[in-house]
Amino acid sequence: MRIETDIVRGYKTCGADRTAMDEDCPGYDSVEIDVIREEVHRLFGDAAGVNGVGSAGIPVSNDPWSVLPSHSLIYVKPVNPEDVVCDYCGGPANLSLEARPKYQRLSEQGPDELIRRARADRKLGERQTDAAERQAVALERMAGANSDIDDLRAQVARLTAALDAQNSPLSASDAEPVSQGHPSRRARQKA
C-alpha cells in the first residue's frame, strides 16, 4: 500500500438538507479553502494470501506484479477541523476538490424546481400536523367535558333518589301519630 498526502486548494460547501429550510443557506455556494488530499494506492501485492503467497502461487517478494497499483482511493480531509461545519447555518459541510457545479438550464422548469416542490410538501405536512394536533386537543377537551357531564348526571340521579326516598308516603306502621297542640305537650305525650 502506498499513501500520498498533499495540501491543495479545495472547496467547502454547505451540506445541510435544502428541503428542511425555507431558503438556501448562503454556504450553498462553494468557498475555496485548503484541504488535505490523501490518495491511497492499493497494490496487487496487498491482496497476497496466506504467508505472502499471491493468488498465482508465486511468493509476493518474487512477483513483479506485486508492486503495481491495483486501485486507489482519494480522501479529502480538512486542514482546519472547523471546516467540517458550515460557517452560516452550523450544518455539515461537504469538502471536495471541485466547486459545486452550476448547470446550464435546459428545461422550462427552474433548476431548483424539485427543491421548491419538496419545501411546499414539507410546509403542507407541517400545516396538516398542526391542524391534527389542534383537533386532538379539542377532542380531548370534549372527552373531558363528556366525562364531567356523566359525573353530573350520576350526581343528579343520586340526589333524585335521595329526594324520592324523603318524599315517599310512609306506610301506616311507620307513621308517627301527630297531635295538635304545643310542642312541649307532644314531647310529654310520647314519654
Give residue limits of the domains in the chain: 2-101, 111-157
Q: Which residues of the chain fall below pLDDT 70?
A: 48-62, 169-191
pLDDT at 171: 46
pLDDT at 122: 82
CA atoms 175, 176, 177, 181: torsion sign: negative
CA atoms 75, 81, 82, 84: torsion sign: positive
Distance CA 112, CA 103 (A): 11
Pairing type for strands 31-43 and 2-14 reads antiparallel
Q: Contact at 8 Å (CB) between 38 and 7?
A: no
pTM for the predicted model, two decimal places: 0.52
Distance CA 29, CA 13 (A): 6
pLDDT at 185: 53
pLDDT at 172: 45
Q: Contact at 8 Å (CB) between 69 and 41?
A: yes
Amino acid sitting at position 27: G
Amino acid sitting at position 1: M
Q: Give me 167's grid cell.
A: 318524599
pLDDT at 84: 93
pLDDT at 40: 93
Helix, strand, or coil (residue 75): strand
